[in-house]
Amino acid sequence: MVVSVSQLNEYVRRTLASDPMLRGLSLRGEISNFKRHTPSGHLYFSLKDEGARIACVMFRQHAFGLRMEPRDGMRVVLEGSVSLYAQTGQYQFYAESMRRDGVGDLYLRFEQLKATLEQEGLFDASLKKPIPLLPRTVGVVTSATGAAVRDIISVATRRNPGVHLLLCPASVQGEAAAGEIVKALRTLDALPSVDVIIVGRGGGSLEELWAFNEEAVARAIFACKKPVVSAVGHETDFTIADFVADLRAPTPSAAAERVVPSQEELRAVLEGCAALLEQRMDARMQALGARLMHARAVVQAYGPTRTLERRREQLLHMRTLLDARMIRALDARAQALQSVKGRLDALSPKGVLSRGYAYVTLAEKPVRRLERGDQITLHLEAGQARAEVKDWRDAHACEEKGKADV
């Protein structure tokens, strides 16, 4: 069977592409002949070890997400697959990711420490300290010559020139970095004037950021009495310091924005608070005014003055009733008295005298029995008369004589 070169290369490409052993490979080696194709953004290089080399390519979509700058002589680990470029018949490795050799061990250490500290409660959200609204002094732990400190100064000065920045410089990369960061944190935390601390640096590879994954740094951040803001790397970078800190900022600039309040924002907040306070005060005054009017009405209806008025009205009404009853009682008593007077007048001696009778007194005393010769006085309606008794008959004798006459 005779085949063309294109057919042969395509067959080999398909054969390689269908082999599961050649996909999802991790390939370790040293970079050589590195080139970045400017128009396309693709990366072309070779990966070699002591005995062999292989051509490699990383397309732009994968190269764009790299957090490291590849260069010749760098030992790396690639993730990708093997295939054949059919036009040239070149067998090559298509890389989809790249990391520095040894990063896998660092990542394992990162995950182990993260799990340990999380189990101990160093990441507990309930233990996070609040960031002060108006810090007077902001402590900064970073390199004195790095871009991070310049970004923090620029942002903080623009937002609020009145806030003081106190830099306690420390190495942020290398073997001595962790110790210097710990010392700087303790120094700033002991200063009474410092209200909040920013610790961080610019972006970099996992190895370059490793100081912020050290256990000593994590425990120093957790032990700080002042709130600590972690600002390590770029937005996609995460370190142990980010989990332990009271607040994580994606970049040093973002940390300055979150810690240092803007004068314009504060002014807007104050104006909003003033407007809200005035509105609530007006509502409160209206509510209190309504309550006062209600209380006044209650006092007028049930207070001492109103009660006294009601008692006065009741007293006047009772006086009127009493006067009416007294008048009726007096009228009744007067009528009864007049009736009794009439009866008394009818039964009194004067009343009897007015009907033509007279009564007798002896020595100015009424008498019931007389003797012959007694000097008596006869009392008549028109006057008195003196007389002498010529004859006396007692009532018994008169009754016997009357019976005899019958």
What CATH number is associated with residue 168?
3.40.50.261
Domain C-terminal end among 53, 75, 101 = 101
pLDDT over 70 for what percent of the chain?
95
- Tell me the pTM: 0.51
For residues 127 and 188, state if they share a domain: yes
- According to the model, what pLDDT value does residue 406 have? 44
CB 207 within 8 A of CB 200: no
For residues 177 and 299, state if they share a domain: no
Helix (H, G, I), strand (E, B) or coil at 23: coil
For residues 162 and 218, state if they share a domain: yes
Instruction: Give the count of beta carbons closer than 10 Å to the beta carbon of residue 28.
Output: 12
- Tell which wins on pLDDT, 137 or 68: 137
Name the amino acid, one letter, at 334. Answer: A
Residue 319 lies in a domain: no
For residues 255 and 153, state if they share a domain: yes
Rg (CA), the chain: 64
For residues 64 and 163, state if they share a domain: no
Residue 235 lies in a domain: yes
Q: Show the domain range for 61.
A: 5-101
For residues 71 and 114, state if they share a domain: no
For residues 93 and 111, state if they share a domain: no
Domain C-terminal end among 69, 101, 133 = 101
Residue 17 lies in a domain: yes
For residues 277 and 251, state if they share a domain: no
Instruction: Give the count of beta carbons closer than 10 Å to the beta carbon of residue 168.
Output: 21
Partners of residue 201 on adjacent β-strands = 232
CATH number at residue 56: 2.40.50.140
For residues 72 and 112, state if they share a domain: no
Q: Is the dihedral of CA 366, 369, 374, 380 positive or negative?
A: positive
- Tell which wins on pLDDT, 99 or 44: 44
For residues 200 and 225, state if they share a domain: yes
CA atoms of 55 and 90, how far apart (whole Å): 8
- The tens digit of pLDDT for each residue in 374-389 reads 899 988 888 888 998 8
CB 84 within 8 A of CB 13: yes
CA atoms of 208 and 231, how far apart (whole Å): 14
- Tell which wins on pLDDT, 406 or 144: 144
Residue 317 lies in a domain: no
Residue 145 lies in a domain: yes
Residues 6+ apart with CB under 8 A from 118: 243
Name the amino acid, one letter, at 146. Answer: G
Number of domains in the chain: 4
- The tens digit of pLDDT for each residue in 293-350 reads 988 888 777 777 777 888 888 999 999 999 999 999 999 989 998 888 888 777 777 7
- What is the β-pairing status of strands 228-232 and 196-201? parallel
For residues 113 and 252, state if they share a domain: yes
Strand (E) or helix (H) holding 198: strand 196-201
Please enumerate, as own/partner, the contacts of 190-193 that have beta carbons within 8 Å and a separation of 24 or more.
Answer: 191/137, 191/139, 191/166, 193/136, 193/137, 193/164, 193/166
